[in-house]
Copies of this chain bind each other. A is one copy, B any other.
Amino acid sequence: MPLEKFFNPDSVAIVGASRQKGKVGYEILKSMIDAGYPGKIFPVNPNADEIEGLKCFANLKSLGQRPDLVVIVVPAKAVPDVMQQCASLGVKAAVIITAGFKEVGEEGKKLEQQVAQIAKRAGVRVIGPNCLGVIVPANKLNASFGGDLPAVGATGYLSQSGALLAAILDMANANGIGFSKLISIGNKADIDEIDIIEALAADPDTKVIAGYLESITDGAAFVRQAEQISQKKPILLMKSGGTAAGARAASSHTGSLAGSETAYECVFERAGIIRCFSIKKQFDFAQTFATQPLPRGQKVAVITNAGGAGIMAADAVERYGLTFAELSEKTIHKLRSRLPAAANVLNPIDVLGDALADRYEFALDVAIDGPNVDAVIVLLTPQAMTEPVATAEAIVRIAKQKPQKPVLASFLGVSKVQKAVEILRKGGIPQYDSPESAVLTIKVMVDYVRWCARPKRIVRLFPVNRRKAETIVERCLRQGVREIGEAESKEILEAYGFVTPKGSIATTAEQAANIAEQIGYPVVLKIWSPDILHKSDVSGVRVGIETPQEVMDAFDLMMYRIPQKLPNAKILGVLVQEMCSTGKEVILGMNRDPHFGPLMMFGMGGTMVEVLKDVSFYLAPLTADEARQMLVNTRTYKMLKGVRGEKGVDIDAIAEGLQRLSQLVTEFPQIKEMDINPYMVGPEGTTPIAVDARISVEKV
């Protein structure tokens, strides 16, 4: 697997090993020894002969051999020299624990670049600097100062915060939670989150990838890799801090509706990453992914010895949109055959307060076989007759015999169920401190299964007139224009296959009436100015004009009134336009995130968009399925499908519009944000019209 030397080294040198307790250089050496590391450990310290019984070396060269892994804890200024030694010796893997690099300012940043250059030239891979180290329980490797070696488990963990990793380690050790690998990635001078995630994906001992990230180094690469890996192993991430940059000073609806979290939500959705908002939730999810099969559906059965707990689980099943399993006749019949008459044999299966372990064992054995059951939650409250330990053993036994469906437990209480919980954990049955947490975990698994089964992504490429769009965009940028006007925006859209309303710009009332005659009534008049983005706000739009007289009146009123409201706006005239009154108004939009590129938006259109906020976002480029899913994700969708006898609109035509827009913004990184609003859509078979559009550009 990749990064093998970090995870399974034959020998480890600790440069900066110290004799003084409490110093990091001592603690790491001690951690290595205490973990029972079976390979060779070389403490390197010119001022010591031996530390903790191990012979000490003056420098790396004096080892007389090349260590597989070098852990560096010397002061920051001495790190480049140690790296040079690594380079000369041909070392392949180094963990730089030392802090005082990029995180402390300009000088540290330079030092870090220097270190990275040495590493790159010599082919030394580096984790850190400013990190806690690397831990691999199965190999008894604890090259860290984070805490004791945890149990062996199937979760690989990476953390960008050393302090948080230490807390996680402490929580895991106190609860007997195991890991395959733990990696503190620190400043990511060389190896970053993608490298680690790839390594964990290739690691046969890792079933679940979990982590805590504060930043993502390469957005596009991250999306690409994470998407592929999620298909094989679930990725559970805590991500703190959004990308605020995209949300500032937005000039489009799309821009102002995209919050700082929108980009990460889109990225996680696209890449199938499961987002966690606390360590506890992450552990909750990870333990079931690591030990249980994926559910084949969303039908949940609950076994309980207390009605109240059962109802709480049932409520949570409803709240999270799962299905409360309706047991088959056969299952009910079987349950009834051996449970007491007072027991509830429908779901939740209530084995009653005086249930011993045998009743639980029987009920679980029957429930797990139920054809309408995809997952089973076993609830236990410690009552007078309850046998928590024997019940835990029974659950482990049945789950081993019938490993085809996930079984989750929630034994309520602490001291009275402590031993039982240990048995569950050792037997690979996840335990939850509330029924609700168990249900939420199933919900997360069901979503993951659904994501894995999504159709293959094929992005359609439409034949377009890219050259024409390029000419306009380039001209605007040359002229220093940041907001492309309506007329040119529409030319760009036409080049990409959009249909726009007929219309021209008039500079006199008479000219306006002439244009209207040519187009045919009714027409719309819109004020024409590069300085007015939201025309409605200044009464710069008049719809439904039917006669030449009305055209001339409306023209003159705009030209008279708007300059009074906005004396500094440069007014170029009035656009006289075909009126598209039939159909529904939707909005298609894009906002470019600085890290992850274009975020596409769809929603109910018109002036209501920012009020109703009924919009959905998705990462470009879009497939046909994704475009359609964007529609489905809004409440507007039902309206578009037609309600109460009213005819629906052409859904596919909207989806195609989103895909064309996706192609446009993917091919033109100069487009920073844009809206087509309203995008007027009619019944099936009709062509939607891009009535108004707004495009912001900037040099790239």
Chain A positions within 8 Å of B, measured between CB atoms, are 22, 24, 27, 104, 145, 147, 159-164, 166-167, 170-171, 173-175, 212, 214, 238, 240-242, 277-280, 305-309, 311-312, 314-316, 319, 342, 353, 381-384, 412-417, 433-437, 534, 536-539, 607-608, 610-614, 635-636, 638-639, 643-646
Chain B residues positioned under 8 Å from A163 (CB to CB):
305-309, 353, 381, 383
The 8 A-B pairs with the shortest beta carbon distances in the complex, nearest first, are A161-B308, A163-B306, A174-B414, A170-B413, A167-B412, A240-B311, A163-B381, A278-B434
- State A342–B99 Cα separation when bound (angstroms): 13
Closest B residue to A539 using CB positions: B645
CB distance from A136 to the nearest CB of B (A): 21
Q: A167-B413, A607-B646 are in contact. Are A278 and B436 (CB under 8 A)?
A: yes
* A381 partner, pick from B160, B167, B316, B437, beta carbons under 8 A: B167
**Contacting pair B413 A646 (CB below 8 A):** no
Q: Are A381 and B164 in contact (CB under 8 A)?
A: yes
Residues of B within 8 Å of A414, CB to CB, are: 170-171, 173-175
B residues in contact with A610, CB < 8 Å: 643
Please tell me how many copies of the chain the complex holds.
2
29 pairs of residues in contact across A and B, judged by CB atoms under 8 Å: A24-B384, A147-B416, A159-B308, A161-B306, A161-B307, A162-B383, A163-B309, A164-B308, A166-B382, A166-B383, A167-B381, A167-B412, A170-B413, A171-B413, A174-B413, A214-B311, A240-B308, A277-B319, A278-B436, A279-B433, A280-B433, A280-B434, A537-B644, A538-B645, A607-B646, A608-B639, A608-B643, A610-B643, A612-B635
Are B639 and A171 in touch, CB under 8 angstroms?
Answer: no
Q: Are A315 and B241 in contact (CB under 8 A)?
A: yes
**Closest chain B CB from A134 CB (angstroms):** 17
Tell whether, in the assembled complex, residue B611 and residue A638 are in contact, meaning their CB atoms are under 8 Å apart.
yes
When chains A and B are docked, how far (Å) is the Cα of A382 from the Cα of B145?
Answer: 11
Check A277–B436 contact: CB distance below 8 A.
Answer: yes
Task: Please tell me if the beta carbons of A382 and B434 are within 8 angstroms of each other in the complex.
Answer: no
Known: A27-B384, A163-B353, A166-B383. 8 other contacts (CB 8 A): A163-B309, A167-B412, A170-B413, A240-B314, A241-B314, A278-B436, A538-B645, A611-B638
A34 to B513 alpha-carbon distance, docked (Å)? 97
Q: Nearest chain-B residue to A304 (Cβ)?
A: B163
